[in-house]
Chains A and B, each alone.
Chain A
Amino acid sequence: MRNLTPALAAVAALLVAMRVGSVSAATETMVRLPAGAYVPFYSRDSNKTTRDGLHRPVAVKAFWLDRYPVTNAQFLNFVKHHPAWSRARVASIFADAHYLAGWSSDFTLRDPGDSERPITGVSWFAAVAYCKVQGKTLPTTDQWEYALADRDRNPKALNARILSWYGTSSAHALQLVQTAIPNGYGVAGMVGLVWEWTLDFNSLLSGPDLRNTGSGTDQKFCGGGSIGARDASDYASFMRYSMRSSLKASYTTNNLGFRCALNAP
């Protein structure tokens, strides 16, 4: 697929995704999520927060999402064909010094057993470039959170699993992606594997960013951010939104990976 243009690659990706047929929209590589709505933990849109702090749902159009996070083997294949994204050659503005630090060299995994584990140590730029080559994009925060919410099938169990994972040491090896638990849509490993980049990770504005704008959002006041939260006791969501807003696009860490999305035609 690497020789195709992104537009052709997108069509090819869709054809692969649709091959399985109509019983379920789930396929080997991507899952189709139907259009719907969800209530975000933070409302980034001041039009969506009512005066008494209630949040209105955000509509999400149908889209495709990778069933699993991108693996080491997949990312290695990408780097081999696009060596500008190898450790030695990546521009420092696109990735910090720990880029792909889990690999033993530019084009070698530390352990072949890592092939099917999620790629980590990748910056936002590298993740965007990878998805673009496949004719895809990173999911938006709304798409990612909508997939995680899983149509509110079992929010309490979901929250318990998230908190239990957040409380687990990250010192041990990451799980193989195929062993991750799929949610009701068939999207696997959104909880329990790695944190994941979103296209607009940098869309939560707060504090000093907005203080001088004179625009009327409550996020412009110090500490005002928590007032905008859907449920201040939802510690799991708080951690996720905080983590995203603390990132810079060149950051890499050993527990941050990604998966790609495709807007449904």
Chain B
Amino acid sequence: MQQMPMAQALSGRSVYNLASVWTNQSGMAVALASLRGRPVVAAMVYTHCKDVCPLITEKMLEIGDKLPKQSLDQVRFVLFSLDWVRDTPAQLTKFAAQHHLDLKRWTLLHGDESAVRELAAVLGVSFYRDENGDFQHSIAIFLLDANGVISEQESDIQAPPARLVKSIRNLLAKGNQSR
């Protein structure tokens, strides 16, 4: 883990201070900092998860559905996989197809163990990988502003999407910045 050079003037509270590099569903390397520039709706999930991760994904889709098209075009949806062993790009592509994720708006990312642990630590996601390679993990959908600062977090999977939708629209209205 290294920190971004000061010259980038990244907020000290930005998640993008993490220098980890991930791999997307197409097998391309993605630095976290490359997500800068627009609001991101993100969650940590794993594709072999039977109950809660599909619900998180559906909730994120629902958030997208509630946004006006013009706003939707300015938002990125990112699933960070917890499963550094099984969630290969091919597996992530399969998951994206199963859930009809539009890859123009969605990115699914695979990281190594240290990248996963560091991101989970920054986001405050607790997790445990059991001997079968399955995960217990805390649930949250995060809204990051254009600079990668956590703007909102929803931990109640049953909550209506209205609050996050409103926060996204506020961020966009303020020109993507939150202080």
Contact = CB atoms under 8 A, between A and B. Distances in A.
Interface of A: 44-48, 84-85, 89-94, 124-125, 128-129, 132, 137, 199-200, 202-205, 208-210, 212-215, 217, 245, 248-249
Given A91-B13, A128-B118, 15 more contacts: A46-B130, A48-B131, A90-B3, A91-B14, A92-B12, A93-B12, A93-B15, A125-B1, A202-B121, A205-B127, A205-B128, A210-B136, A212-B139, A215-B52, A245-B126
B1 A210 contact: no
Contacts of B127: 202-203, 205
A249 B128 contact: no
A46 B122 CA distance: 26
Interface centre among B120, B132, B137 (most CB of A within 10 A): B137
A122 to B, nearest CB: 14
Nearest to A212: B157
Contacts, number: 94
A212 B137 CA distance: 11
Nearest to A85: B3
A200 B113 CA distance: 11
Give the top 10 A-B pairs by smallest Cβ distance, nearest first: A249-B121, A92-B12, A209-B138, A203-B128, A91-B17, A84-B3, A91-B12, A45-B130, A202-B126, A213-B52
Interface in B24-59: 51-52
Dominant SS at the A interface? Answer: loop
Nearest to B150: A93
Interface centre among A90, A93, A199, A202 (most CB of B within 10 A): A93
Given A92-B12, A212-B157, A125 B139 contact: no
